Structure 1
């Protein structure tokens, strides 16, 4: 089987070299030279594509030596700029490698070049180069240049440096039809492997689902205004693509940033990073801080509409926003105790409107940590060629590509639909740039797109409650009208309220905690021989919580004979431990639940399966109704409850509960505390 995989890889290498000759490079060569030269990957690979794009070992060795020689002799290091300038003057002509940006000097009516590492400005450059390589005007490109030096006494204002020959060592322009035609020669699986190898990874070492995640990391590079976040463990290569693979993306390392830097500088009247780059990626989201108060608000506006207001004018930009960061605890415990956006800084972490603008949440915990065998030594596209293909695809949109076959279910609101369409569009641009695919191909992409947006919505539901209740994402086949639902893998299993009967004395309740969030609480009661004492643990110093529990015990001792003759008070001690399962601070609405727990422990009879008890009572046994019943029931369902015990006083509030939420639980109503005990234990 391994030999089969090897021969497949060799034949794919051959096919790539045949179809895209000169556009591909063997990826281990890049790594080999990159370690010794501080030059961007896309420059290196262009040189390798020129001198080592072959599968003949001898020619490759020769090519690699040549590339190393060129870099050591001609690449301008910023700290050696003066030495190189001197060499150009002394020799009269010298070849260099540097990044050149060109501007038109309209006063003198000629073009001027600026050198990134050499530090020269105002060097005249022939307009022929501009016509041929228009990218010189848009952000600049790395070039191999022959530089001349001639100083004229009579024309002192003329720059003595001039360019006698210029050859780009980045793609100066590209014909996207080459990609469209070439794509036809590859199967879907082969093309996915080609794209993944082009980023330096080895697809045969990773499973199919992880391949899709690696492809999604590329979507912000092909799709305008795409907002994506990826949180996961360290060492999974979250920021690699945005730092090394594309010359069109910028990585903003954690820490403070400003509105001027990111969006618009009012004093210099210059658009910030979002206007200059295709993708702005934030590394380590926990550290994002805006010096300006309105920073997050402007970011929200931009993420929603691709525009932002500064001063009197509104600016538009097409940059995609990517947020990457680390999750330091297990995903299971995050889902149970908080939400998956928790690593974001505090001012963002509880802002549902900010996260609602995310089009996709990539589950970084599913991507394995990078090992040496994950890096490829096979052929892939020269990254600069791939970056140009990506940039060219930003001008197109395939967001409507599933409309022929499917329509989206009614749980998706407008923001959900936009997120799903953008993800579909981006993945179609990557996988089927020539717009040729089958219904099955597009269904696969649609399911993946729905899952990532649903992951966002599931977290919004935890942060913002009923406003984000609709998470049952689905799509409908247009020909058969069959509806397919899409779930999120991490939501399954591991519920706070387990299935099956619990132990006698154990009871769950849902209510408002000290932090005013709704949470799940577990009360564990144990009955041992003793003299009628009631001991509590896990309740901290909150007087209201203790009062609520004491109310339950007083009612229990006064009314035990009405509940069961088998209950003994004076010869037993009652031990109770309370657990705040979601870390939001214990609720003080515990009296009914604790009364049921005491009776369950004393009678050695467990409460009904997957039951949650709602409501509270006074010492005299007066029942209070449940505040905000719809939100409380939503938390019950999310936690795994199948039955919910509700005070009769709350019956009228049922009309505020969405019908598709009600059908997920069996509501049971009680009129007084003793009725609650009987119904919870399923007796009487």
Structure 2
């Protein structure tokens, strides 16, 4: 172990986990997100750091369903209860008055499953949307013309940590900025010491760029675009680090799925998740581009949307993820970065509502060497911390106190820069309580300058599409204290 390993182990003794390929090889054959893997490793590791792999294997065999298993057949034939740790999707059915559920990973469809009324009353998270938990299933046969169904008769939410955010903030004070950034990168399951002399983490600037992927995890209603070559880990981060995010990969997006289904009377993805990552954006299709564009404009601007007679609100942020062709110098082949985006996202007025741009081509490709080796925060704990930070309003107040906004500054530019600054402040300096606690040089280097750069790219790209938009951003600086 190096010095950072020892520090993480000592300061986050209950919340850290040792990540090695040997420990995680036990999950071969199971397609599990990182927050489940880390929880199991922590559950079956003693204080000396010994991992009891046989106990993990026993748990996996007992509670984690495999793709090839016919759970429905087991329930029908054996007429016995089955207990699983799994992801389920809940869909309220207004016509029947039932809360239907599906488990896509094992082939249980929403028409197959109904949540027992007493369970739904006890657990609010089972009234719509996605959740993870240890569930008990049983088959309920019906007489006459009625069909049988699978009932969810028992439920324990998968929330192993009650996050003490003040404890987390206190521990942050024991780290310098360099070690803290390395801890965050490790907790994203990457090795901050990786250096291939070209695209590795050769300096703090590149590490900070990598951490910008976490901004939508901690700051509500923040909207970003990242374009990068294939193999830079975009999909992995947004699909594995949090159970409160949602990733769309390909297919067709409808307004009903995204915002509100008027026919079913059910909310869409917006409002149910911390962020929505739209992966492979260049392949996405839209059922009605004008309809989606209108709804997106309203939501990205104000956090509200209207469908039929329903008006909804949400704090869900968006991040668009796409590939971009590069030349032999590893730079974009075109100065117009957005030319491969779907038509709906090429409109200047819609693009202006995205707050910042991440240059993903400056980030390292995923190789075996870049995988984390050593102590890091347990992903489940880390994701809960980020989720909790979203509702901490004191950070935006601090940013307001620190920034000097020039007269006549564009409102969208100011909003974008403030939101990105606030996200960085939450990630890097969560321990500050007021503007007096902030080191102004650190804030300038690690919050303000990255925010200005990300917003400036958006404005420059919009200008290339629509010359009516000026490429400049306001000269926002720190106030003189």
Q: TM-score, normalization: structure 1?
A: 0.59
In structure 2, the CA distance between the partners of 1:72 and 1:288, relative to structure 1 (3 Å rule), is same
Q: Which residue of 1 aligns with 2:9?
A: 14
Q: By how many angstroms is 1:125 displaced?
A: 7.5
Q: By how many angstroms is 1:37 displaced?
A: 0.7
The correspondence of residues 9-408 of structure 1 with structure 2, limited to 5 A, is 9-18=4-13, 21-22=14-15, 24-26=17-19, 28=21, 31-52=24-45, 54-56=47-49, 59-60=50-51, 62=52, 64-77=53-66, 79-85=69-75, 89=79, 95-99=83-87, 114=101, 116=103, 117=106, 119=108, 121-122=113-114, 124=116, 135-137=125-127, 139=129, 141-144=131-134, 167-171=156-160, 173-205=162-194, 206=201, 207-294=203-290, 295-330=292-327, 338-349=335-346, 351-397=347-393, 398-408=395-405
Q: By how many angstroms is 1:461 displaced?
A: 2.5
For 1:217 and 1:280, the matched residues in 2 are separated by 13
Q: By how many angstroms is 1:233 displaced?
A: 1.8
Q: CA-to-partner distance for each residue in 1:370-413, whole Å, 9 max, x for gaps? A: 22111012122222222222222222232232343431345841
For 2:269 and 2:284, the matched residues in 1 are separated by 15
Q: Which residue of 2 aligns with 1:459?
A: 461
Kindly indicate whether the alpha-carbon contact (under 8 Å) linking 2:324 and 2:332 is maintained by their aligned counterparts in 1. Answer: no
In structure 2, the CA distance between the partners of 1:344 and 1:150, relative to structure 1 (3 Å rule), is closer
Q: By how many angstroms is 1:50 displaced?
A: 1.0
For 2:246 and 2:377, the matched residues in 1 are separated by 21
Pair 1:427 & 2:424 matched? yes
Kindly indicate whether the alpha-carbon contact (under 8 Å) linking 1:143 and 1:169 is maintained by their aligned counterparts in 2. Answer: yes
Within the candidate set 472, 477, 480, 1:478 is matched to 480
Kindly indicate whether the alpha-carbon contact (under 8 Å) linking 1:285 and 1:345 is maintained by their aligned counterparts in 2. Answer: yes
Q: CA-to-partner distance for each residue in 1:28-87, whole Å, 9 max, x for gaps? A: 46742343212332222222221126453xx21x2x221122112332346420354268
Q: By how many angstroms is 1:244 displaced?
A: 1.4
Q: Secondary structure at the match of 1:341?
A: helix
In structure 2, the CA distance between the partners of 1:411 and 1:452, relative to structure 1 (3 Å rule), is farther
For 2:40 and 2:128, the matched residues in 1 are separated by 22
Q: By how many angstroms is 1:477 displaced?
A: 3.8
For 2:100 and 2:55, the matched residues in 1 are separated by 28
Q: Secondary structure at the match of 1:368?
A: coil
Count of aligned pairs? 459
The correspondence of residues 642-657 of structure 1 with structure 2, limited to 5 A, is none
Q: Which residue of 2 aligns with 1:440?
A: 441
Q: CA-to-partner distance for each residue in 1:528-548, whole Å, 9 max, x for gaps? A: xxxxxxxxxxxxxxxxxxxxx
For 2:182 and 2:331, the matched residues in 1 are separated by 33
Q: By how many angstroms is 1:321 displaced?
A: 0.9
For 1:353 and 1:142, the matched residues in 2 are separated by 38
In structure 2, the CA distance between the partners of 1:368 and 1:99, relative to structure 1 (3 Å rule), is closer
Q: By how many angstroms is 1:124 displaced?
A: 3.9
In structure 2, the CA distance between the partners of 1:356 and 1:82, relative to structure 1 (3 Å rule), is closer
For 1:30 and 1:115, the matched residues in 2 are separated by 32
Kindly indicate whether the alpha-carbon contact (under 8 Å) linking 1:100 and 1:140 is maintained by their aligned counterparts in 2. Answer: yes
Q: Secondary structure at the match of 1:121?
A: strand
Q: By how many angstroms is 1:199 displaced?
A: 1.4
Q: CA-to-partner distance for each residue in 1:480-513, whole Å, 9 max, x for gaps? A: xxxxxxxxxxxxxxxxxxxxxxxxxxxxxxxxxx
Q: Secondary structure at the match of 1:250?
A: strand
Q: By how many angstroms is 1:323 displaced?
A: 0.8
Kindly indicate whether the alpha-carbon contact (under 8 Å) linking 1:34 and 1:41 is maintained by their aligned counterparts in 2. Answer: no
Larger CA Rg, structure 1 vs 2: 1
Q: Secondary structure at the match of 2:466?
A: helix
Kindly indicate whether the alpha-carbon contact (under 8 Å) linking 1:43 and 1:142 is maintained by their aligned counterparts in 2. Answer: no
For 1:389 and 1:29, the matched residues in 2 are separated by 27
For 1:426 and 1:12, the matched residues in 2 are separated by 25
For 2:136 and 2:468, the matched residues in 1 are separated by 66
Q: TM-score, normalization: structure 2?
A: 0.82
For 1:39 and 1:279, the matched residues in 2 are separated by 20
Kindly indicate whether the alpha-carbon contact (under 8 Å) linking 1:406 and 1:478 is maintained by their aligned counterparts in 2. Answer: no
In structure 2, the CA distance between the partners of 1:80 and 1:356, relative to structure 1 (3 Å rule), is same
- Please report the RMSD computed on the Cα atoms of aligned residues, expressed in angstroms: 3.8
Q: By how many angstroms is 1:269 displaced?
A: 2.3
Q: Which residue of 1 aligns with 2:198?
A: none
In structure 2, the CA distance between the partners of 1:293 and 1:66, relative to structure 1 (3 Å rule), is same
Gaps of 5+ in 1: 1-5, 480-684
Q: By how many angstroms is 1:157 displaced?
A: 12
Q: Secondary structure at the match of 2:227?
A: strand
For 1:363 and 1:15, the matched residues in 2 are separated by 35
Q: CA-to-partner distance for each residue in 1:116-147, whole Å, 9 max, x for gaps? A: 348473454866x976x654556454334577
Q: By how many angstroms is 1:442 displaced?
A: 1.9
Q: Secondary structure at the match of 2:85?
A: strand
Q: Secondary structure at the match of 1:276?
A: coil
For 2:44 and 2:353, the matched residues in 1 are separated by 45
